[in-house]
Structure 1
């Protein structure tokens, strides 16, 4: 039995990840999101608002005795409102940090604490972004939080290695430009707060956006062959879903 916890499963990449994993009869998926759009006998939905720190801190992982693997995928994220610093509200800044960085950090902390002594293989995958490495105007908080989740992942990996924690792996994986509601929100931005608006509109009009189910397959490749991916911070651009997994 393989256990998966995925945030943001109501739509987009999160939904594609959940539905793809459920095709395997050994998979059991728990989705953490405000809304539910998946009906499946091996899917459990937990209604949670990741923008509320208390709700995140109150969440408890299950025990799952006998599970072969337990995986946390921090997929949920938010980019908007797309505005320059000085034009954002304090509440919007706080919400973006909470959803993109604080919530996944809290869940990772609880995940490690819950399963340190569990014999299963434990995986943590954070959905990152190339914006964590490259400044994009109008996205200052999004860029900062994605850089933060990359470094948090690298540091946690170092801690797991130094502490001798067994069977834990962590990655922070940039998905590229995916055809999701986030991209639609970006295309509706005010050009006065986003100099690259026409570029992102062009990505959509020229069919350059990747489909969520195709991107999900690349994340699955990491879980199929974890020892192949030795770097913590990677991009799906470096993953070929059609190449057979390498043997450890």
Structure 2
């Protein structure tokens, strides 16, 4: 049996990933601050949800110390972890950023995925196959003015995937994958940015105006195809658009 854990599962790409997995008959454990109504056709136990603020690392640590994760994966033969939750703020140059937002972004974008990956590897030790997908960003590999925190935290996910791949743990494949530019609430947040703090605001607004944003359902389908495919993890830090071209 395949089972999946998805963070930030209640909106945007996370909701689309959850729907895609459930549509393929894969039970999902969703971790988010808000709940998601189970999609039509899903079995009563297909979607388990736990309300967690993933930027609160002590609370996440307490939850991971409990029985839920191990219990969910107990009958899995193929286990998946998708670290999707993330935040864009703070946007703006260094020296003018809000300290609380910096701390929250580092904890949500980087701290939570590292804690979850560690707990997942331990809880899935019995599984012949287990895979970790960090949802990364082109900002991990290309610096953008005003996005210092976002770029740094996404780059951290890439390096975690590279280093973990070198551990060569039995049955484990890992990749930090940039999914392309997707039509999600985060993109609306980008378009609403003050150009004084994010000089490329007009470029991202044009992507929406010109219909160049990928629908979440399309991105989710391609991500799950790759996650379940034979080449997943061949390149620990990659871009989904590269994979789609192969």
TM-score by length of 2: 0.91
Shift of 1:87: 0.7
2-structure distance, mates of 1:127, 1:167: 20
Shift of 1:65: 3.3
Residue of structure 2 equivalent to 1:175: 179
In the alignment, does 2:54 pair up with 1:50? Answer: yes
Equivalent of 2:160 in 147, 152, 161: 152
Shift of 1:114: 1.9
Shift of 1:228: 5.7
- Contact 2:173–2:232 (8 Å) recurs in 1: no
The aligned length equals 236
Residue of structure 1 equivalent to 2:215: 211
Query: Secondary structure at the residue paired with 2:103?
Result: helix
Range with greater deviation from structure 2 (214-223 or 69-78): 214-223
CA-to-partner distance for each residue in 1:121-161, whole Å, 9 max, x for gaps?
Answer: 111000000101111011100000011110011001111x1
Shift of 1:229: 4.8
Range with greater deviation from structure 2 (148-157 or 214-223): 214-223
Residue of structure 2 equivalent to 1:10: 10
- Contact 2:174–2:233 (8 Å) recurs in 1: no
Query: Secondary structure at the residue paired with 1:209?
Result: coil
Residue of structure 2 equivalent to 1:38: 37
2-structure distance, mates of 1:21, 1:228: 16
Residue of structure 1 equivalent to 2:206: 202
1-structure distance, mates of 2:215, 2:233: 23
- Contact 1:7–1:75 (8 Å) recurs in 2: yes
Shift of 1:80: 1.4
Query: Secondary structure at the residue paired with 1:19?
Result: helix
For 1:86-235, what aligned pairs fall within 5 Å after superposition? 86-116=95-125, 118-159=126-167, 161=168, 165-227=169-231, 229-235=233-239
2-structure distance, mates of 1:223, 1:178: 18
Shift of 1:54: 1.1
Query: Secondary structure at the residue paired with 1:198?
Result: helix
Query: Secondary structure at the residue paired with 1:3?
Result: strand
CA-to-partner distance for each residue in 1:47-80, whole Å, 9 max, x for gaps?
Answer: 0001100121122312433322111000011111
- Contact 1:7–1:33 (8 Å) recurs in 2: yes
TM-score by length of 1: 0.91
2-structure distance, mates of 1:91, 1:119: 39
Shift of 1:218: 1.5
In the alignment, does 2:80 pair up with 1:81? Answer: no
RMSD, aligned α-carbons: 1.5
Query: Secondary structure at the residue paired with 2:35?
Result: coil
2-structure distance, mates of 1:227, 1:190: 40
In structure 2, relative to structure 1, the CA distance for the partners of 1:51 and 1:228 (3 Å cut) is: closer
Equivalent of 2:77 in 54, 61, 68: 68
1-structure distance, mates of 2:98, 2:24: 44
Shift of 1:83: 1.4
